[in-house]
Amino acid sequence: MTQDRAASGQSETGVGGSTDLPGSIDAVEQMLAAQGYVADRGLATVVFLSLKLGRPLFLEGEAGVGKTEIAKTLATALGRRLIRLQCYEGLDAASAVYEWNFAAQMIAIRTAEASNTGADRDALQAELFGDDYLIRRPLLEAMQPDPRGAPVLLIDELDRTDEPFEAFLLEALSDFQVTIPELGTVKAPEPPIVIVTSNRTREVHDALKRRCLYHWVDYPDFDREMQILTARAPDLAPRLSQEVVAFVQALRTEDLFKHPGIAETIDWANCLLALDVIDLSPEVIADTLGAILKYQDDITRLQGSEAKRILDQARANINEASVDPSRQDRT
Ligand SMILES: Nc1ncnc2c1ncn2[C@@H]1O[C@H](COP(=O)(O)OP(=O)(O)OP(=O)(O)O)[C@@H](O)[C@H]1O
Ligand SMILES: [Mg+2]
């Protein structure tokens, strides 16, 4: 049986010509904001272009800056299915594309032998290598037709895989078709919306990057992190939110083994809410540091007078910002 699910009508205008794709960069920003994701102009621009041109989007950046979240948010906002391929060392094509269900095949063979019906061996073989015994892994899953439109395919933390898998992926991303010897060729009716992320623990090969639009997801500036915190921890009092963000921003300028990401800012805010904290103090910071710093050396560095020094600096930054006319204009 040949399953040639070749494309019938991929639009020239981008991902399947879907009508619900945002028509401008502003529309992308609004669409993401409606889901609580605050994108800066640069990110909104590459997302728009990636959707418009049907090109994979390659996002690199530090941990906890919103790389994975953008794929989840896009899927929700566009009403598409999210398919996630979590990368790890040793990931191979079988785990990424498809496998045969050997255990079920063995049971079927044993059952056929036991019943001894003399059934046609060819028929049995055809059945064993049919749809029922095929386990679809994320890449094959992303090639299946879906009435909601092409899914969002998140290839997360690509830097964790090894180079042979990267080379394999390069091919998969170029034509979205896979040949299963026993079944035939499966081709996506329209290419999925692909988001690839990396924490840059190693450089991803140029060939793969060249196929994608690239964006470095940076830590947000004060204003954007305030917007994110307001969206994600709306119950935190505005003054405390400012202190939290200013403190985290100041921490990112310190010489630490691992700087806190946005995820840590949100976690910390939720911890402070749970403890009914109304004001930051060196004592509160010392008690809750585990929400923002995850290495003992970093935590030790902030013991004693260091936390107070950074808190004073954070407060000075807030006061400076509030008398800066250019920032007042923006608010
Ligand atoms: N721009 C943003 N707007 C709203 N929330 C955000 C934003 N960026 C990050 N977040 C929040 O931070 C959390 C962590 O983000 P995410 O898991 O996407 O980070 P990541 O970059 O994939 O990190 P890692 O490299 O550790 O996987 C998200 O669950 C989300 O709540
Ligand atoms: Mg992630």
Among 217, 246, 266, give the residue marking a domain's end.
217
Residue 36 alpha carbon, nearest atom of ligand 1: 4
Ligand 1, atom 10: nearest CA belongs to which residue?
Answer: 66
Residue 67 CA to ligand 1 center (angstroms) comes to 6
Which ligand does the CA of 69 lie closest to? Answer: 1
Ligand 1, residues 47, 60, 69, 70: which to mutate, most atoms within 8 A of Cβ? 69
The Cα–Cα gap between 108 and 102 comes to 10
Ligand 1, residues 58, 262, 294: which to mutate, most atoms within 8 A of Cβ? 262
Residues 85 and 167 in one domain: yes
Half-sphere exposure of 9 (CA within 13 A, CB side): 3
Which runs of consecutive H residues, i.e. helices, occur in 176-261? 206-211, 222-232, 238-251
Residue 245 CA to ligand 1 center (angstroms) comes to 15
Residues 228 and 288 in one domain: yes
268 lines ligand 1 (CB under 6 A): no
Q: How far is CA 316 from CA 223, 247, 249, 301, in A?
A: 16, 10, 12, 21
**Domains in the chain, number:** 2
The Cα–Cα gap between 274 and 290 comes to 15
Residues 71 and 211 in one domain: yes
36 lines ligand 1 (CB under 6 A): yes
Residues 197 and 260 in one domain: no
228 lines ligand 1 (CB under 6 A): yes
215 lines ligand 1 (CB under 6 A): no
- Asked, for residue 190, whether it belongs to a domain, the answer is yes
160 lines ligand 1 (CB under 6 A): no
Residue 199 alpha carbon, nearest atom of ligand 1: 25
Residues 170 and 297 in one domain: no
Residue 157 CA to ligand 2 center (angstroms) comes to 7
Residues 206 and 75 in one domain: yes
Among 217, 242, 276, give the residue marking a domain's end.
217
65 lines ligand 1 (CB under 6 A): yes
Residues 84 and 162 in one domain: yes
Residues 238 and 299 in one domain: yes
The Cα–Cα gap between 226 and 243 comes to 10
Residues 269 and 187 in one domain: no
Domain coverage including residue 230: 222-319
59 lines ligand 1 (CB under 6 A): no
Give the predicted TM-score (pTM) of the model.
0.87
3-state secondary structure of 302: coil
What CATH number corresponds to the domain at position 151?
A: 3.40.50.300
Average pLDDT along the chain, 331 residues, taken 10 residues at a time: 35 44 95 95 97 95 95 96 96 90 92 73 84 92 92 96 88 84 87 95 89 95 96 95 96 94 97 95 94 94 89 91 59 39
- Asked, for residue 112, whether it belongs to a domain, the answer is no
Residues 154 and 297 in one domain: no
45 lines ligand 1 (CB under 6 A): no
Residues 190 and 287 in one domain: no
Q: Are strands 134-136 and 98-100 parallel, antiparallel or unpaired?
A: antiparallel
Residues 78 and 162 in one domain: yes
Name the helix (H) or strand (E) containing 59.
strand 57-61
Token digits of residue 111: 């059952």
Contact 85, 98 (CB under 8 A): no
